[in-house]
């Protein structure tokens, strides 16, 4: 979806005016639709005014108030932040449309987001491309690593590990494993 369309959808004025124009066009093209809408509104009004032991208008009002609350609760449920310890660091992320997003690592001691530093060495083994990642905490000066591979390679390995955990539900295995996610890397 391009940027212009996304900004249009998230603009409440544009959505209101565009929706009103669409409704007006449908009513103009199909007058029977307007008659059905009038009948539905009349029925709702008659039900709200009817005398019952429990006022219908109260049920209707509570239902209308409950809908936004339920929508907010559902949105909060689907935007939960997940967190697990891998390689001694606390990794946090969200899952949107089946994909891991907002992946970041934090210090397990003071919850400060860690800063990654890449370094290259001349000594390369068969498994090693010479690049290593070390993560540093700016608050407590704790360091994690070095882990073999460039930052992108290491993050992709973490993502694959988390995706496996999502598919299999094996978070206890991921959280409690002492081994590094990459072969040949130094585990803490």
Could you tell me whether strands 82-86 and 89-96 are parallel, antiparallel, or unpaired per DSSP bridges? Answer: antiparallel
Percent of the chain with pLDDT over 70: 72
Q: What is the DSSP string of 134-164?
A: EEE-TTT--EEEEEES-HHHHHHHHHHHHHH
Q: Ramachandran region of residue 85, left (φ > 0), alpha (ψ -120 to 50) or beta?
A: beta
pLDDT digits (tens, 9 = 90+) for 94-130: 877 778 888 889 998 988 888 888 877 665 555 456 6
Measure CA 94 to chain center.
Answer: 4
pLDDT digits (tens, 9 = 90+) for 29-72: 888 878 888 898 888 888 777 766 667 777 778 888 888 888 87
The residues spanned by each domain of the chain are: 3-78, 82-176
pTM over 0.85: no
Residue 106: per-residue pLDDT: 92
Q: What is the DSSP string of 53-113?
A: SS-HHHHHHHHHHHHHHHHHHHHHHHTPPEEEEETTEEEEEEEETTEEEEEEEE-TTT-PB
Question: Residue 145: pLDDT band by 50, 70, 90 thresholds?
Answer: confident
Structure tokens given for 28: 């103009």
The crossing angle, in degrees rounded to 10, of helices 56-78 and 31-49 is: 110
pLDDT at 177 over 50: no
Highest mean pLDDT among 89-93, 94-98, 122-126, 164-168: 89-93
Residues in Cβ contact with 65 at an 8 Å cutoff, skipping those fewer than 6 apart:
none
């Amino acid at each position: 979806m391009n940027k212009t369309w996304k900004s249009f959808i998230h603009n409440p004025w544009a959505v209101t005016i565009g929706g009103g124009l669409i409704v007006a066009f449908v009513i103009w093209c199909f007058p029977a639709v307007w008659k059905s809408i009038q009948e539905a509104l009349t029925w709702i009004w008659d039900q709200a005014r009817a005398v019952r032991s429990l006022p219908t208008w109260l049920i209707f009002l509570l239902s209308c108030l409950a809908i936004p609350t339920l929508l907010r609760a559902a949105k909060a449920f689907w935007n939960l932040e997940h967190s697990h310890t891998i390689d001694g660091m606390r990794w946090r992320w969200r899952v949107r449309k089946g994909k891991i997003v907002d992946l970041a690592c934090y210090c397990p001691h003071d919850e400060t987001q860690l800063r990654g530093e890449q370094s290259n060495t001349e000594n390369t083994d068969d498994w090693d491309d010479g690049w290593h990642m070390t993560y540093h905490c700016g608050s407590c000066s704790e360091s994690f690593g070095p882990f073999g591979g460039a930052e992108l390679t290491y993050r992709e390995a973490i993502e694959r590990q988390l995706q496996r955990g999502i598919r299999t539900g094996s978070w206890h295995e991921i959280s409690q494993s002492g081994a590094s996610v990459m072969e040949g890397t130094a585990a803490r």
